[in-house]
Amino acid sequence: MANDCDMKSLMTLSSKSEGSTAPAARLRWRNAPLHERCTMTDMVKLKDAFQTAYRNVLLPNDFRNLLRTLLNVEYDDEEFQILFMKINTNRNGEIDWDELVSHLLLGYFANDPENQRESLQPPIMGLPTVMRSQHRHPISRICFCPDVSKDRSTDPMQGTYITASRDGMINWWSLDMSLLRTAYSSSPHLKVRTTWVTDMVCMPDVNIIVTSSTERDLRFYDCTAKTFTLKIIITSWEYMICTMYYQFHKDANEKCILICGDVGGNVRVLLFSPVKRGPFRNQAGRALIQLRHVDLQRKPQLLPEMRLVELQRVHSEWVRQVSFYASLHCVVSCATCADSLLMCDLAGSKTHNMFRVDKGIQCFAFDEETHVLVTGGPDCVVRVWNPFVTTRPAVALAGHHAAITALILQNAGQTIYSLSRDRVIKVWDVQGQLCVQSYIDIPSQIGERTPISAVYNKATRELILAAVKIAVLVLDEQLNPQHTDGFTHSRAVAKILYNPLFKVVITCGMDSIIINWDPVTGKRNVMVRDAHTRLLHGELIPVEITAACFDPGWQLLVTGARNGTLKVWNFNTGVCLRNMAIEHMCEVTSVFWVEGRILAVGWNRHVTEFEDTGTASTGKSWETRHSDDVLAAAARWPLSLATASYNSELLLWKLETGQPYRRFSCTDPMLRIKMHYKKRDATRAASPTATTAHRTSAPRLSMQSTSARLSLPEAGEAMRKARARRVSTGVALPTRAQAMRQLAVHAMIFLETRPFSMQDASLMLALENGQVQGWSDHPAGGLQGAFQGVHTVGDYVSAFATDTNNRFLFTGTTVGYIKVWLMTNYLMQEQVHVNMSELRLQFPFLWRDRIEGRAKRSVRDQPLPMLLNSYRAHLRCITTMAYIEHLKLVLSGSSDYSVRVWRLSGEYLQTMGSFVPWTLETTRFPPDVKKVASFTTFKVWRSGWVSRYVPGQVEVDKLRDITDLELRNKTYGAPAPDPMLGRYFALPARPDRHDKIMLDDSLQTVPLYAHLRMASTQPVRRPPTPELVRHTRLRQLPAKKTHFDTAGPPTRANE
């Protein structure tokens, strides 16, 4: 909700403004969102107005007057109608208090940044990549060793992973987890019995690997040039070192820090200078340096390059993790005891913060930029701390059922990943204080009872878990702006619908998500997750949405799913109003909402009719006339319904009676198939092969559907072709096989403004061979013509869209091309004039090319319909399209999960749901398509601009008429007319005349300071000398003589 103080001040200003300021104040509140203009005081007044109204409801005029008088908000007629219909969810022409409150809550929720930030898919997707560890014992530590450049900078994309197992085996891995080499860490004092390696850390700036073991020693190995040589060993520590951390600075003059925590609760810090590798430089006669812990304490001269700082007994239990807080210059350590986490400087005096948790802390992570500290421990609670406040955590996130062993931070500490002992990763949103995802797919073979070591790479966003085996997980994969603009859905886009009443765009995806978008601002208004679900093993599984449409009043949405269910939605609120089904697990391919009825068609091979006002979940089935699955359908109210099946059957139905009146074969459109309306006549005409199965993948039909299939008219020629299996168009077929093959219909659309005539083609459908056929839905009509809708081999039209007047036909292909066709004068009796000049200004594709592209070459012999535009829009199949007429925007949805917005002329604008700031003014190039786009596509994207450069062309010198003198003095041609400075500059005015100074000599002394004018104390800046003046002065100055060339009378030596 808006700030109350700001709201009151604005309302006071608008109420007090009269006269000339009143119109400006009213414009400021015009067509404003209602939820942004309501304060708590206004809500109380609105509630009182509803309670005093008749039946506690308000009519449209009463509600509009209330908003005008109480909130000083004025709406246009169209905007108020949209607002009233959004609030009036019951659609009874009056609103009550509950409907108004629900609308305001939805507005507040839409304005919430967390709602806009909500992701379509969980941060962790898919299963982890599991591989063998190449170790004989479980891995005790995995770490990342980056490559250090000469300026001591590191790149997370260059380096290696290092794993160490308990037996001392150390493996080096590449970034793609390929084994590079192997080495062993063992104690030089033990010849038979080996010790366990407890921890390992890499020191990349000096090429050293440090291991700690149960022998209470530290071993420093030199890894230069792929060697593994023991350089220094420090033995006889008081307690076994169990955890280590290394920190080095980019400045070589700063000390490097190695922090060690032991089982006695002590924290020990080793400091050394990295200059010339410090104590690890190669020295003649000193192959191995051996010393004890007490030698570092009492005899520092034995290793003067290394200094030891000890923090004694800071914890009462084992130190579980240590780190270094660089921005505060503090050492951080934690343990599973009451004194859980310590943050102190190396001296332990300036900063000493102790964080206390009853059961202790086992792991922690922090973000130094935002100063966020996150801890986890045996109590299964993730705590978020302010590092400067030790009394209590800022946020406590509970939900784990086992001890937390690892923490990872993302997005400046706003996203937390916590790993527990039961191999469950929970993703937390700190700002919303909720669990976004619980990931349970880490297999037990990673390490069921073995501690898991984890390392996270910020560049690749990979979390690598290591124990018995190694698992690689990607945490919230980051999109590369060089490759994509983002995604609209997490799966393929199934349907795009534009609602002209509410001026919103509805997108439905295969991820079972429905999203309501504002096409002007790109804002996500409402999102419905798991719109269709099915119960599988006691768990609700989302089901893909395959069809959708609006009601005739544009106020409700009906969707169909792959499992045969249909749902009616209020898309402004996201509320499901009704559930229906055609048949269990039978995909709905098309759905239509005509006056009083909902028609659904799909793989059940017939049309199912539902009443739009009832609550029944089942409908009435029309007669089964198709012999295969219906793939496409189109409706033309109130005349016809067209359905086309997998085996190229086309049926035309009367919408009023539900009776079929024409049947065609799209593969052989001249074949006349007689319609039979009696089962007895149909049985006589049926061939003996009518009972054979169509496809092995088709479901087994019941006895009723079998008898219905027997009643279908099956002419020998048509049915022989219908039984031919579909073959991919990407494979070249022989001519005979191509002729026998049935072509499935994949898309269909009615041009509703065309007359219902036998000579006018009003139905357009797309075949698998790339053709677009035009049919007349008149009982005496049929195929009127066809044209080629693609220009690449194996491609075909998969989506249709058109404008209100059916002037343009938009087609999307499986390769990702969008084509715009001019349907004027095509397969119509009435011929009208076409203004080609207007079309050329509107579509730069029509401009003449020096070399024509494939799109133009393919339509040379195809005058009608005229190809107005052709460009590559996606790299994958275009599944659905829509056109917004008043904005002249084309929307294309693809199986690449994106919905892209294009201008009518073909320029790319945006991707819905993109991370790129939304604008409909600036054109761009799609990052993925521009790598493979043709010159024709680039010409369309650039609004017709193309480079006219020809290889070998000599560029004309536009300054060839300027002489060297003019170029040197920068005086080109005739002198400039007076005044040279133009009319925009005036000389400064002369200073005021100063009066004559009169000295006061009446006193013994004359006070000069009272009479003299004092100059300003500010230094006077000398303007820079112009370049031309400076060069002129330098040329005019005589050559400077040296001390030996002093002028004077010649001496004898000179003579």
Cα separation of 744 and 767, whole Å?
6
Q: Which of 37-51, 366-380, 503-517, 1035-1049 has the lowest mean pLDDT?
A: 1035-1049
**Tens-place pLDDT, residues 178-206:** 999 999 998 887 766 677 899 999 999 99
What is the predicted pLDDT for the residue at 731? Answer: 43
Query: Would you state the pLDDT for residue 48?
Result: 85
Backbone phi, psi, residue 419, to 5°: -110, 130
Does the pLDDT value for residue 956 go beyond 60? yes
Which of 941, 945, 939, 867 minimizes the C-alpha distance to 900?
941
User: Residue 173's pLDDT band (boundaries 50, 70, 90)?
Assistant: very high
CA 158 remoteness from chain centre: 26
Please state, as a whole number, how many other Cβ atoms lie within 10 Å of the Cβ of residue 568: 19
Q: How confident is the model at residue 795, as a pLDDT?
A: 92
Residue with tokens 């290793």: 303
> What is the pLDDT at residue 179?
94
> Which range, of 78-87, 319-328, 629-638, averages the lowest pLDDT?
78-87
Specify the pTM: 0.72
pLDDT band at 686 (very low <50, low <70, confident <90, very high): very low
In this prediction, residue 50 carries a pLDDT of: 85
Q: How confident is the model at residue 5 (pLDDT cuts 50, 70, 90)?
A: very low
Q: 83: pLDDT confidence band, cut at 50, 70 and 90?
A: confident
**What integer best gives the mean pLDDT of the chain?**
82
Instruction: Name 857's Cβ contacts closer than 8 Å, sequence gap at least 6.
Output: 791
Residue-level length of the chain: 1055
DSSP 382-435: EEEE-TT--SS-SEEEE--SS-EEEEEEETTTTEEEEEETTS-EEEEETTTTEE
Is the confidence at residue 992, as pLDDT, over 80? no
pLDDT tens readout for residues 605-630: 899 999 988 788 888 999 988 888 89
- Per DSSP, 74 falls in state B
Nearest Cα neighbor of 346 from 360, 361, 364, 333 is 333
How many CB atoms are closer than 10 A to CB 590? 24
Average pLDDT over residues 496-521: 93
- Confidence class for position 364, pLDDT limits 50, 70, 90: very high
Residue with tokens 């400077």: 1040
Q: Report whether pLDDT(26) > 50.
A: no
The first and second tokens of residue 838, run together, are 């207007």
pLDDT reported for residue 86: 82
Question: Of 115 and 930, which is predicted with more confidence?
Answer: 930
Greater pLDDT, 816 or 76: 816
Nearest by Cα to 532 from 542, 518, 540: 542
pLDDT score of 415: 92
